[in-house]
Amino acid sequence: MQSYFFSPPSPPSLLPSSDFHTAAVDAEGQLWTWGWGGSLFGGIGGLGHGDETEQPRPKLVKSLLDYGCRVGSVACGEKHTLILTDDGEVLTAGNGEYGRLGNGGSSDHPTPEPVEFFDEK
């Protein structure tokens, strides 16, 4: 069974962080996140693993492997994460409060989802 905890093929190239979580992109374009996963009253965190589980060490965002994309860049907001793929697609995950995920609403996204606004341009 493959481990989805931090054992990248090479050192990370990006390490953005917020007050609540940190992200890393390895040389293979894989995204790793760790930190606060969310809470009942605080909403989902920005880790993108599909749940509100706190991650005390880096964990691979497996849904991006299933999506078939390479991450080119990443940024961490307070309770959300923005992802730019090598193909120029923008994805967001986390707490959607105040429309911060860019999808025209305030719903939380437990896993990364495309920001359709940029697809329409």
Q: What is the pLDDT of residue 43?
A: 77
Per-residue pLDDT of the chain (121 residues; tens, 9 = 90+): 444 444 555 666 667 778 889 999 998 999 999 999 888 777 788 999 999 999 999 999 999 999 999 999 999 998 999 999 999 999 999 999 999 999 999 999 999 999 988 766 5
pLDDT of residue 34: 93
Please give the pLDDT value at position 11: 61
- pLDDT number for residue 61: 96
Instruction: Look at residue 3 in the predicted model and tell me its pLDDT.
Output: 43
What string of H, E and C letters represents the secondary structure of the chain? CCCCECCCCCCCCECCECCCEEEEECCCCCEEEEECCEECCCEECCCCCCCCCCEEEEEECHHHHHHCCCEEEEEECCCEEEEEECCCCEEEEECCHHHCCCCCCCCCEEEEEECHHHHCC
Q: What per-residue confidence (pLDDT) applies to 42?
A: 77
pTM: 0.85
